[in-house]
Amino acid sequence: MTLSARPKTVEQGEWIAHQVVEHYRNLWNFVRVVHEKEDDGTAVCDATSCPRMSAGANHSFTWLNSRREPVELPAHEYMTLMQRWISGKIDDLAIFPTDPSGVSFAHNPSITTTPLSQLSSPGGEPDWIGKRSGFPKNFIDVCQTIFRQMFRVYAHLYWAHFTDPFYHINLEKQLNSCFSHFVLTATALDLLKSHELEPMQPLIDMWAANGTFPPESKAYEYANLKAGERLLQLAGVV
């Protein structure tokens, strides 16, 4: 929990901006692995191996085209468009007006512990997370969408590519470490809701059962502990 918990002296908007950028960097290091071309010019994730952006047989994701219509795309194309979209949001000074790679100190950190519905400025005007650091009113909505899209990429990487290439090139531990930290952060900051975790629920259940997620975390709260224990037994871990 230490890495995902916000220091009390850091303003909430600055902390969330920092987390968005750090998790984006972590994730796309893994995406580059599946997009890297082999000697024959093919990649592990291409239109042939992954014709849809999916996470197992029961979950697939569509992209909105220029007419706001949902369309199915090969996973590599979906992830490329998503990368451009997220990068564009992070680089947009109207949304991320400060340097998100660092954090600033809050003059009144207690304001960030108040529920969003109850936030108000001293003059009675509506307040929102990040307002004091110059973030716009829709900042949280944008960050939630970014985390939702990054979760979809992680889900695809696990379901379609965990064995090939990550396990084969000994990167599975790094993938697990980054994704578990991602889930802890996203749930702690309310950037992902419990129902949005469904494509990766079995792994989340196991991580709650084996101690990866501490009992006081939101990720642990969203897990089915008994289901996780059964999965660990089937895997011969316990």
Task: List Cα–Cα distances, 3 to 183, 185, 210, 230, in angstroms.
Answer: 12, 8, 19, 29
Indicate whether 123 and 112 sit together in one domain.
Answer: yes
Indicate whether 34 and 120 sit together in one domain.
Answer: yes
- The Cα 81–Cα 194 span in angstroms is 26
Indicate whether 166 and 62 sit together in one domain.
Answer: yes
Which neighbouring-strand residues pair with 22? none
What's the total number of domains in the chain? 2
Q: Which pLDDT does position 116 carry in this prediction? A: 45
Place of tokens 């897990």: 223
What SS3 state is found at 222?
Answer: coil
Q: Which tokens belong to 169? A: 């090139």
What SS3 state is found at 44?
Answer: coil
Range(s) of the domain holding residue 46: 12-190
Q: Which pLDDT does position 143 carry in this prediction? A: 98
Indicate whether 61 and 123 sit together in one domain.
Answer: yes
Looking up residue 116, the CATH number of its domain turns out to be 1.20.140.30
Indicate whether 60 and 160 sit together in one domain.
Answer: yes
Decide if 142 is inside a domain: yes
Indicate whether 230 and 204 sit together in one domain.
Answer: yes
CA 179 to chain CA centroid, Å, is 8
Which neighbouring-strand residues pair with 126? 120
Q: Residue 45 annotated as binding?
A: yes
Decide if 76 is inside a domain: yes
Q: Which pLDDT does position 112 carry in this prediction? A: 44
Q: Residue 178 annotated as binding?
A: no
Q: Which pLDDT does position 105 carry in this prediction? A: 41
Decide if 6 is inside a domain: no
Q: Which pLDDT does position 99 carry in this prediction? A: 58
Average confidence (pLDDT) over 58-80: 95
Decide if 5 is inside a domain: no
Decide if 64 is inside a domain: yes
| pLDDT tens track for 167-203 | 999 999 999 999 999 999 999 999 999 999 999 999 9
Q: What percent of the chain has pLDDT over 70?
A: 86
Decide if 173 is inside a domain: yes
Q: Residue 143 annotated as binding?
A: no
**In the predicted structure, residue 113 carries a pLDDT above the cut 90:** no
Q: Which pLDDT does position 107 carry in this prediction? A: 39
E strand or H helix at 71: strand 70-71
Decide if 238 is inside a domain: yes
Instruction: Give residues with Cβ within 8 angstroms of 50, minimum separation 6.
Output: 74, 75, 76, 156, 160
CA neighbours closer than 13 Å in the CB half-sphere of residue 223 = 30
Q: Which tokens belong to 217? A: 């975390």
Indicate whether 129 and 147 sit together in one domain.
Answer: yes
Indicate whether 26 and 84 sit together in one domain.
Answer: yes
Instruction: Give residues with Cβ within 8 angstroms of 205, minimum separation 6.
Output: 223, 224, 225, 227, 228, 231
